[in-house]
Chains A and B, each alone.
Chain A
């Protein structure tokens, strides 16, 4: 279970250069990437963070993975505080970040086993996990080939397998369907659904996206993120009822981009 409460992050302005000082350019204000973002992602449940580009989704997930320190707020993974025990929290999470580069001179298996070693798995255990994941994500024929020249979809599968090598209870994915074609997207969706079930391990899955259909087809729970805030949460049906819309896209637009007078109030 992942709990995020009152998260805030403001990026400092870029340092003033000598030229800025000489030309008396005013100091730039920092950018508030995330302000008051909260959500709870339960086990055996797929939670989608839905928001437009620049809403703060990637920043939030990077804070969850301990890459960026938040200015305020708390995050916990299975009750472990991310700020004070980041490594323990990471050991309970499998994170597929926005950047998903592989090592082209290593085979798919070596890429996965390397991450297994970094997670503290023994070699045999990591090898066995690579086989299991190749079966689940359907990339067995690729397993012993070097990843140079893999297609987007193939890379994505290896990167996901790499993130899941230690069989984490919590899975965090940043825009996982980016650049994937329809069959690859469908197979990813099937894999995530399987991971949520009891025989798949009853995982807590959190993924960020800006694609409506993705959320409608897959999510048990949706958190709408806009301008760094979590503005609404619930199932798709609940959000439709809340906004009085029949079309989910309309509901999303209404939630994510409220008219200005509402913002003021």
Chain B
């Protein structure tokens, strides 16, 4: 019988078998397809609340009567001054209160007049991230008030304001909106890469170690189909499942952006069909290579459980490799493209930043993945007989 026909028979059977394993599929779908978008939405909600408190017009002041000058300044800045609840300290600690509180001591204004430099407190909780964000805003307001007072005092004495501010600081940010967004969307490649791996994992283990454990490998090899056909069919099925999960994962971020709560993030996060397709193109060879690699590891194992333990090394490696680009402060090096997982995450990050991908950028990871696939499959085909009788 021809190799192609036998491989097709194996492929069809393995696909049916994998798709009938509903429980595993649901777990994979939930953990790798839904998790990324859910996290993105949660992150956007957090960012939205930061933005809200950063732009908040309300300043909570305890003892507003002690500083009419400051209150007047705040109101001129179009801020609304309110009194905090009496137990604000406890509420801040319990994270039920998300704004910092300005505490003005008695006779603040007169002390300022006399030049006694009285202390004014900005109360926040550094364990409470939202109150921290607001505290910076209140401090900026206080600094502006202090500057206004100084300028006025010196101007009365005839000092030019330029002497107080000998130079002006202007910031110029070279990052485009997409580059800034990439800091937040940088986690996307990690999620889709893990989705590929989790998609392949179960099918790869089931068609090799699982087959051994069930005692179905030996009878399978007593058919006149060639070893190459069996391995190709199995690998094709595993890679197909991995690609299916990867596709779902890549495209799940498109509807996820509709749910983004933060306007800034929504404006910056440009992830459309083009980006999703580019992700998929980068992930196809990776899915093929990971399927072969996981099968090669699992064929040595007598049981599914043993294979799961062995494949942890691959899972850990793939989840840690992309971190190289975080730790390596020297930036992107050419060798990054030669390392599977790191290469894919680097290139996907570039897609998110809106940078173009060159032919060599695509060819190097493709060649590495193709080589890994061929080596893995040859190893599985070689081990098949020993695995059946061992």
Contacts and interface: CB of A to CB of B under 8 A. Distances in A.
Interface of A: 62, 65-68, 86-88, 90-91, 93, 95-106, 110, 114-115, 117-120, 159, 162-163
Given A90-B224, A98-B218, A67 B385 contact: yes
Given A100-B219, A118-B9, A110 B16 contact: yes
A67 B216 contact: no
B20 A117 contact: no
Contacts of B181: none
Given A118-B9, A120-B1, A120-B5, A159 B20 contact: no
Nearest to A93: B222
10 contacts: A65-B221, A87-B226, A91-B224, A97-B218, A102-B216, A105-B21, A106-B13, A114-B13, A118-B224, A120-B224
Nearest to B221: A67
Nearest to B2: A120
Nearest to B13: A114
A64 to B, nearest CB: 10
Given A65-B222, A67-B222, A99-B217, 17 more contacts: A67-B218, A67-B221, A68-B385, A93-B222, A97-B219, A98-B218, A101-B211, A101-B219, A103-B17, A106-B13, A117-B6, A117-B13, A118-B10, A119-B1, A120-B6, A120-B224, A163-B219
Contacts, number: 87
Interface residues of B, number: 28
A99 B389 CA distance: 9
A114 B12 CA distance: 9
Nearest to B218: A99
Contacts of B77: none
A118 B223 contact: yes
Interface string B3-23: 001100110110011001100
A87 B224 contact: yes
B306 to A, nearest CB: 17
A229 to B, nearest CB: 21
B127 interface: no
Contacts of B389: 62, 67-68
